[in-house]
Chains A and B, each alone.
Chain A
């Protein structure tokens, strides 16, 4: 099989697109994180993110976050078309700064939870979830 000049250019374009797409998804989650933290430094302790290591069905993946002393918690999915999943804002009658819900994941990816503490500091937890069947439909 021989490649014409046109084929070669098309392949080069395809390769360029394939490498740029994950970059833009990564940029979207960085934007979402800095929008929430306002660029502040994010610690690693004080927040727990519980999600399954392997999710067979990406349409409904249980997720639980807990961060004692948090004012709000945001959950982000790094590999989804839009990174936002949910934001919890806790009021004075919250029994614990914890909540669980179910989310959709497009494929195997990192799930990130960031808590904004009452003292203004931030904490983040990150976990990879392997997804057998993605949950975005098509």
Chain B
């Protein structure tokens, strides 16, 4: 498991019903591509986050498949529609089976 994996998400605190909001996510992760070699010439095995999902009250906003060509500390920005107050659930799936989760509440006025 990669050390010190910290997900960070920015979601507006409130929005109008049906408004489109921008969500930014960043997770600290080395995203070892499997292409690099260490000082002894051995290939460093691949260890990346391979999938990311965002759901709002259980309904899908978007899903992303990440490949080794995504940079260290993957940053993802996308947009979502908020029909009502609720919770965004963000999930990152690691190659080693770890799952990192984060959630954010939003109030719709």
Contacts and interface: CB of A to CB of B under 8 A. Distances in A.
Interface of A: 59-61, 77, 80-82, 84-96, 98-105, 135-138
Interface residues of B, number: 33
A81 B67 CA distance: 12
B80 A95 contact: yes
A105 B33 CA distance: 12
B65 interface: yes
B70 A102 contact: yes
A47 to B, nearest CB: 16
Nearest to A99: B78
Nearest to A100: B77
B6 interface: no
A85 B83 CA distance: 31
Contacts of B22: 95
B21 interface: yes
Given A86-B67, A89-B63, A136 B80 contact: no
Given A88-B62, A89-B62, A136-B36, A95 B20 contact: yes
B76 interface: yes
A104 B65 contact: no
In the A-B complex, list the 5 residue pairs whose CB atoms are closest, starting with the nearest: A91-B60, A95-B79, A95-B20, A137-B36, A84-B67
Interface in B55-78: 55-56, 59-72, 74-78
Given A95-B21, A104-B70, A137-B36, A89 B64 contact: yes
Given A60-B72, A93-B80, 18 more contacts: A59-B72, A60-B71, A81-B35, A82-B68, A82-B69, A84-B69, A88-B62, A88-B63, A89-B63, A89-B65, A90-B62, A91-B60, A95-B78, A99-B64, A102-B70, A102-B74, A104-B71, A138-B37
Nearest to A136: B35
Contacts of A88: 62-64, 78
A100 B35 CA distance: 24
B74 A101 contact: yes
A100 B62 CA distance: 13
A80 B34 CA distance: 13
B75 A96 contact: no
Nearest to B60: A91
A104 B82 CA distance: 32
Interface in B16-68: 20-22, 33, 35-37, 55-56, 59-68
